[in-house]
Amino acid sequence: MTRGTVWHPFTQHALEPQPIAIARAEGAWLETANKRRILDGISSWWVITHGHRHPAIVAAVHAEIDRLDQVIFAALTHEPAEKLAEKLVSLAPPGLAHVFYSDSGSTAVEVALKMALGYWRNIGEPRTRIAALEHGYHGDTIGTMSAGARGVFNAAYEPLLFDVVRIPFPHPGREQETLDALDAAAREAPLAAFIAEPLIAGAGGMLIYGAETLAEMKRICERHNALFIADEVMTGWGRTGTLFACTQAGVTPDILCLAKGLTGGSVPLAATLATPRIFEAHYSEDRARTFFHSSSFTANPVCCAAALANLGIWETEPVLERIGKLAALQAEHIAAFETDSRFENPRRIGTIAALDLKVTDSGYLASASLALRAHFLASGVLLRPLGNTIYVMPPYCTTAADLAPVYDAIRSAPDVLTR
């Protein structure tokens, strides 16, 4: 393959074809310069919620950049950030009261980990042990890689990573093992925090678990006074069927991480929400107890304006109704694979559907992965399998007519691999 100037993420340039240039996007569709249309079956890495270029969000971006492009957020503030924080607190699980802005899902989680460690240090009870749910993926910064599953993603950076306590994933029928392991870890020595993706592990293979298990994990953390961090970077903004996945378990985390769909997927913005006790531990006349974290573009006004427009869409349009219709379509399509012996473990939660292609070498580096991606693109569909795990996570504007070709392409995928 040719070597281009641009180095693309999660791309092995020696094996993969030249990237396809996308010229425009609208709704659930991407379009190349020569007018070829591609259905965005993964919401452009899980960020697009209502559809590409929603008019309300586009208008908000245009309006804000004519007023204010960027301003330092230390000792200064602005209306979009203030209004957005108020709205986020009003929508989030009850008890979360403070909003810290950053730029991406990775930084939202990195902030959460630093908040947790800072909390314990500042109250004079330093705890440093972090527990994390197995198969988790929390980002690509040092802290988030440490909390995430170890493997090919981060093997080269192992010397930089810190150890965390691994809690086994609550696979169906084995939920008690997870709960017992978390309880045992907390009894062994005090935990600073436990971090998990609520209800579904995304990059870990779209693995789903129940709301009652999530609720019980939170109860165990409460019993042992360990902070509970909910990484809703992917699950937030309706993907699991409710605005936040934690809602289905009646759980309020101590720290909540949001990104991706926060702006409807239009521009980068993240937020880490915390309970009052986390904030109060950093509130002091002692400057050494300051929360030392920032980025140059913290709370960028244009991004905050886009997020405010996104929240306006949730308030004024029937978003949950659209989610319900899309979830029903996904359920109908994925159920058809239950009797297809070429696949296994068809599953769905909310608008996310997944299944595993039976292959001899499963896992993220499964040899079928690149061929599958090429097949889907040739079929006019953007899907990016996690090895042999094929998942569909489209924008909420996706129609029945849009979705049918996606599953036609999945159904024909095994035949392509045997040619």
Q: What is the pLDDT of residues 386-398, one digit of tens each?
A: 999 999 999 999 9
In the chain, count H helices and then E strands. 12, 16
Distance of CA 80 to the CA centre of its chain: 23
Going from N- to C-terminal start, the domains of the chain cover 57-316, 318-417
Q: Tell me, what's the pLDDT at 152?
A: 87
Paired strand residues for 200: 208
Q: Which fold has domain 318-417?
A: Aspartate Aminotransferase, domain 1 (3.90.1150)
Paired strand residues for 356: 344, 389
Task: Assign residue 67 a region (left: φ > 0; alpha: ψ between -120 and 50; beta: otherwise).
Answer: alpha
Q: Tell me, what's the pLDDT at 47?
A: 98
Pairing of strands 255-258, 227-231: parallel
Q: Which residue has the tokens 């504007």?
A: 397
Domain 57-316 in CATH 2.40.30.30: no
Residues in the chain with pLDDT values less than 50? none
Q: Where are the beta strands (DSSP E) in 317-384?
A: 343-349, 352-357, 381-382
Nearest CA among 70, 41, 23, 100 for reference residue 326: 41
